[in-house]
Amino acid sequence: MNSKTVLMMDVDTGIKMLGSAKIPNCIPLCRTVNESKLIGVTLTPDEITDLEGDYVTLELEAAGPREKLYFDPSKTKCAIVTCGGLCPGINDVIRSVVMEAYHNYNVASVVGVQFGLRGFIPEYHHDFVELTPASVSDIHQFGGTTLGSSRGHQPAEDIVDALERSNINVLFMIGGDGTMKAAKGIVAEIERRNQKIAVIGIPKTIDNDINLVTKSFGFDTAVEKATEAIRCAHVEAVGMQNGIGLVKLMGRESGFIAAQATLALKEVNFVLVPEQPFTMRGEGGLMPSLERRLRERGHAVIVCAEGAGQELCRAQGKADASGNPVLGDICQVIRDEIRLYFTEKNTEYGLKFIDPSYIIRSVPANANDRIYCGFLGQNAVHAAMAGKTGMVVSMLQNRMVHIPLEIVTAKRQKLNVNSAYWRSVLESTGQEDFCRTCTM
């Protein structure tokens, strides 16, 4: 493992190598990145919720093509797998990996693993599919993933067995926190067997909650589509006496989409996120604050992340196939509470509820996300061909870098409710008093 300097933080940012890279890189139209080049990244409390002190500086490898390759492209077989929920841009990343691998490295083969990690397990009977520039030429025009996806744990031993049987040299894993943890297990099993198979993660989460990833692909598109739903909720609300528009957005543990969409449209009066507890009644409660808003302005718009207010929901104690807690329906709790509260007050109101979640997850990526997906795919191939493994390629503060799997899986990234960013959200909505009171 390369030794990297870490300043003010006891974290090893070195990237694992399969061995010495000795093959000259003949990639056209490009200058290579010096292997020893490190990028110093300074992170503040706005970016790290539990940071002790004013800032922390990490030194990370710069992404990009290297002067020497570990794998001989003419003998290299790559595989791509997509896991977890859908997200705008997955097909763009697949296409970028295939185009880079074939056109710039002339690799022998790229195969697609169907329906997530299940595609490695013989009992599911999912064949690998050959991916070529022709077969992926227009997949970026469509949402979802052309390879299919699935959730749930599959044994690392079985996956590595499949990699060995198929003579796969490089595995690209596109997925979120659970997928990156699975990638870590696969890397450990490969090392245990002393095999030379590279595993490169490409972080995918529409919630933007992967540690040290400034922005995950698909996030821009999700915010853009979310603002359309909020706009509709606002139109509905102003069209009724005491109209209330309630919009449910993605965000199991992190409220980034809800916060960013709120800032984008400026029509939201209350934004509820998992990181910010709230109460329904009493001083500082949502219902009295909503009542006051309706009395003063005659309408209100509430944006609620799906993971907000779970302390107010009936706990189910269950987990989904990926190990995530099954969430209570906070929006149903809010709707029931609105009905009870305003009935008690003998106040007429109208409520329109919009849940655009599955529409947002399934649409094609917008222009900004497509560009980002292109960078991710290209740099993932560069890293793999140089023999790097156990890492993700990502953008951190507008710089493409390599981050070890150990760091990105250490914790979930959360919105810092003590940050200047969250303060801007509160100023946009005007809910400062509501939030300040319910956190005392």
159-190 confidence digits (pLDDT tens): 999 999 999 999 999 999 999 999 999 999 99
Q: So where are the chain's domains?
A: 6-216+365-408, 219-362+418-438
Residues of the chain with pLDDT under 70: 1-11, 45-54, 315-317, 319-324, 432-440
- The H or E element that residue 129 is part of is strand 129-130
Please give the mean pLDDT across all residues of the chain.
Answer: 91
Read off the pLDDT of residues 413-429 as tens digits, 9 standing for 90 and up: 888 888 888 999 999 99
- Report residue 13 as tokens: 């940012």
- What is the model's pLDDT at position 29? 72
Has 207 been annotated as catalytic? yes
- Give the active site residue among 177, 207, 220, 369: 207
Which CATH number applies to 6-216+365-408: 3.40.50.450, 3.40.440.10, 3.40.50.150, 3.20.20.140? Answer: 3.40.50.450
The span from the CA of 132 to the CA of 143, in Å, is 19
Same fold, 6-216+365-408 and 219-362+418-438: yes
- What is the model's pLDDT at position 5? 37
Output DSSP code: residue 346.
T
Quick one: 14 exposed, middle or buried, by C-beta within 10 A (0-12, 13-18, 19+)? buried
Torsion of CA 271, 273, 276, 278, to 10 degrees: 60
DSSP string, 50-114: T--SS-EEEEEEEPS--SEESS-GGG-EEEEEE-SS--TTHHHHHHHHHHIIIIIT--SEEEEET
Helix (DSSP H) and strand (DSSP E) numbers for the chain? 12, 18
Answer for the pair 20, 12: CB distance below 8 angstroms, yes or no.
no
Answer for the pair 404, 391: CB distance below 8 angstroms, yes or no.
yes
CATH topology of domain 219-362+418-438: Rossmann fold (3.40.50)
The span from the CA of 225 to the CA of 417, in Å, is 24
The span from the CA of 312 to the CA of 299, in Å, is 24
- What is the model's pLDDT at position 322? 61
